[in-house]
Amino acid sequence: MEIGLRHLIDVELASHVEESRCFNEASGQQPQPDLTSIEGLLQTRAAHAMRPSGALPRTVECTVEANGRRVPVRIIAPGIGRSRAVFLDFHGGGFFLGSAARGDERNAGLADGLGVTVVSVDYRLAPENPWPAAPDDCETAALWALEHAESLFGTSKFVIGGASAGANLALTTLFRLRDRGHGQRVAGVVLQFGAYDLSGQTPGGRLYADEYFIEAYVGPILDRTNPDISPLFGDLSDLPPTLMVVGALDILLEDNLAMAARLSSAGGEVDIRVFPESPHGFTSFPTSMATAALRDIDSWIDGRLTQEGHQRVP
């Protein structure tokens, strides 16, 4: 059992710190609408949607079905060559914001750079569709991909990834796949600044226990330590190798450190990397720190697929 502490904070990242500090100061903290009102929620979603999505014509939009459920997905295949794996992507947004389309540009880069087919999931959002709608949708997409990956994409290997709420959903999906006997199909999982304790029972979870998204997602649920809600309390054994990425300024840092420790104590292989002067969601920022983090993610995924013996076939 070993946590990748030698990579916890890479000393070479010091050269990016000043730029990140300046970007953070320029961005500032904008006033937030009242998310408990319909008007505030719609205003926030509209502002979130106004950011460039990077949508690409090559993206295939479709609705997939498995286990009697259906969910819309976006599929981006490599521009050249066959797929060496399927990358199942769960977007962030606190369970109440976001869409798969917003990740098209990044996912196209993954597809072409690593030779993977990216399947990004448009899971249902809270508060209109609270738990367990999102994890049900993510499981549906995963089961569909497991059944059809070989025939459609020419590969049987998977990597799963998610950011923020998507990292939570990546773990709950892994739990469900493992419990169905499919865990060995996943070569690795990439978790970016996830929220893992929505119960507020741990020191890390208490730091963000009053955030709107928790009430929107699991408001009526009394036991929020349910691992399908708070993966920190789950059985973390027999999970694939894990890369965790989080910023040193993120309110979820302590939650991520706790998850890394639990994964390691359960016998898992976990590599956690902390990026200085970086708040929540920093990998989407136009900074060299974000570029360094994304480069680390790409390199780690490539290493996992190479280690698994699934080299890209021209």
The answer to whether the beta carbons of residues 96 and 215 sit under 8 Å apart is no
Angle CA 304–232–131, to nearest 5? 100
Mean pLDDT of 271-276: 96
Instruction: Say what the pTM is.
Output: 0.92
Mean pLDDT of 203-215: 97
pLDDT at position 28: 75
For 120-178, write each residue's pLDDT tens digit.
999 999 999 999 999 999 999 999 999 999 999 999 999 999 999 999 999 999 999 99
* Confidence grade of residue 314 (pLDDT, cut at 50, 70, 90): very low
Of the CATH numbers 3.40.50.1820, 3.20.20.70, 3.40.50.11260, 1.10.1060.10, which one belongs to the domain with range 2-27+39-307?
3.40.50.1820
pLDDT at position 236: 98
pLDDT at position 7: 60
pLDDT at position 31: 66
| Percent of the chain whose predicted confidence (pLDDT) is above 90 | 82
How far is it, in rounded angstroms, from Cα 258 to Cα 255?
A: 5
Angle CA 97–102–108, to nearest 5? 150
pLDDT at position 76: 97
Residue 14 tokens, joined: 């010091």
* Confidence grade of residue 43 (pLDDT, cut at 50, 70, 90): confident
How far is it, in rounded angstroms, from Cα 129 to Cα 132?
A: 8
Beta pairing partners, 117: 86
CA Rg value for the chain: 18
pLDDT at position 296: 97
Element (H, E) at 114: helix 104-114
pLDDT at position 42: 65
**135: which residues sit within 8 A by CB, 6+ positions away?**
169, 172, 173, 176, 228
Beta pairing partners, 104: none
Pairing, β 186-192 against β 242-247:
parallel
pLDDT at position 313: 40
For 248-258, write each residue's pLDDT tens digit.
999 999 999 99
Angle CA 144–149–153, to nearest 5? 135
pLDDT at position 308: 73
Mean pLDDT of 212-238: 97
Mean pLDDT of 214-238: 97
For 18-32, write each residue's pLDDT tens digit.
999 999 999 876 666
How far is it, in rounded angstroms, from Cα 188 to Cα 183?
A: 10
Q: Where are the beta strands (DSSP E) in the chain?
A: 2-3, 60-66, 69-76, 85-90, 116-121, 158-163, 186-192, 242-247, 269-275
Q: What is the mean pLDDT of the chain?
A: 91
For 48-106, write each residue's pLDDT tens digit.
664 544 556 789 999 999 999 999 999 999 999 899 999 999 999 999 999 999 999 99
